[in-house]
Structure 1
Amino acid sequence: MSIIGKIESCLPSFTKTETIIARFILDHREDGVEQYLLGDLSRELGVGEATIVRFCRKLGLGGFTELKFLLSVENEEHTAARENSGEIKDILISSIKMTDSMVSSKDISDVVDLAGAASEVFFFGIGMSGLSASMGESRLFRFGKRTKAITEAHAQNMQASLCDENSLIVAVSISGETIDLIEAVSLAKESGAKVVAITSYLRSTLAELADYVLLSFGKPNYINAGAFSTVVSQLYILDLITSEYALRFSAEAARSKKRIARSIINKMVN
């Protein structure tokens, strides 16, 4: 039996509070209930986090994470067959537009101030967010800034422990709850580093740790975790930051781009 079917069959046995949770899931089954963090759903419904966990266990599940996983499976099976090139294009465009609406020019300017003052900028990310971190490093590096992308958990911890007040960490995570990333960022904060978070959740642990938060549009999906729409929104923010940096420090950026171009000109095929 599907998890939706199981919830429907158990409706008569639910308490009043459990029924509120069940009805919300059933009424929003195609709206991405699985994209909620436990705390966000608790606030949305006005019920305790422990109540939601008990609801999940009443369904025979290990907890809220397993419920989200099963909902992701069913939602993916329902929507995968309907996706076409036009819908994919609309999703990507919408992702950029939504991200643009959540980020102000002052936010970008403040982050560029931090980058300009830092002795070195480290980009932290894991999984698909690690790819975004690597792109951020590649882009900013070309403008003359000392940068390094670190996408492996142990290396992030080691680098974080060596940071100081002149270091800047740009931490990229859709959920803002990736355990290894949170650990590394916490170490960096203890070392005195400034932290910029690029995440989709303002109330996430990563956002709470950060000095600045830039919101990207994208929701975690256990089945379709490699969706490009989430990465596109992260790359859009990183492009805003690095482009503003190049404008702000135009002389340095121009010199660096010329030197880099000369260094690789012989590598190109005529």
Structure 2
Amino acid sequence: MVRPAWAPREVDIDRPSAARMYDYYLGGSHNFAVDRDLARRAVDGWPTLPLILQANRAFLRRAVRYCVGQGIDQFLDVGSGIPTAGNVHEVARAADPDARVVYVDVDPVAVAHARALLDDDPRTGVVEADLCDVDAVLDDPVTRATLDLDRPVALLVVALLHFVPDELRPGAVLAGYREAMAPGSHLVLSHASADGAPDVAEDHVSLYRRTDTPMSMRSHDEVLAFFDGFSLVEPGLVLFPRWRPDEHEVVGDLEGFTGYAGVGRRD
């Protein structure tokens, strides 16, 4: 295919990317034919997948508003993905105009678009780094210039850890962030799971093995362990739509719905 003008030269446009597939699921336009093809196959095998991902995005928005309500005015969004409507800084600033946000991603397309979108915004920053390299994220000059890590911060790890295999010790990675976070900081986390839909989830995992970021579905108890050292706020670790739904959001029958979300506080 012809390389779009917005695609960095180092990006392989012939291999699907989880970040660009997620952009496609959410109705974005920064994805390639190879991403759309694999995403459509995923939806064919799991028709409720777009609803699940939209529910995950809605959880992110609610969690950001909750954190602002707890007095947090700075956010570290790791694995932020390709910018789309309802970004963290937009949601946070609707409640606190002075909120600061650093977006972190390892995908060059996501980073390039975030920088283009936020280049003239002094209260946001964009860092190209891997979640698992805690020092690279926290010690980056952009992070240090934008956030004050001596004050509470919200660490957002939303729809990301299922792309981190067990051998990279995701729990230890989160512990590294936790130790650097001031008391009163929050962890906002969501994670894919096969609980409730094991057959379609297995096929979904097989599809993602064709990308550079294969998936590791985890159970409720496995995801819960990621909150070690944090105090879970009510209602705990639950299905995306059940985490503090807004008054206008009706949570109906969630049979076959998968994925867990929660928010924890570092005391």
**TM class by shorter-chain length?**
0.3 to 0.5
> TM-score, normalized by length of structure 1?
0.34
> TM-score, normalized by length of structure 2?
0.35
Q: Which has the higher helix share?
A: 1
Q: Which has the higher strand share?
A: 2
Higher Rg of the two aligned structures: 1
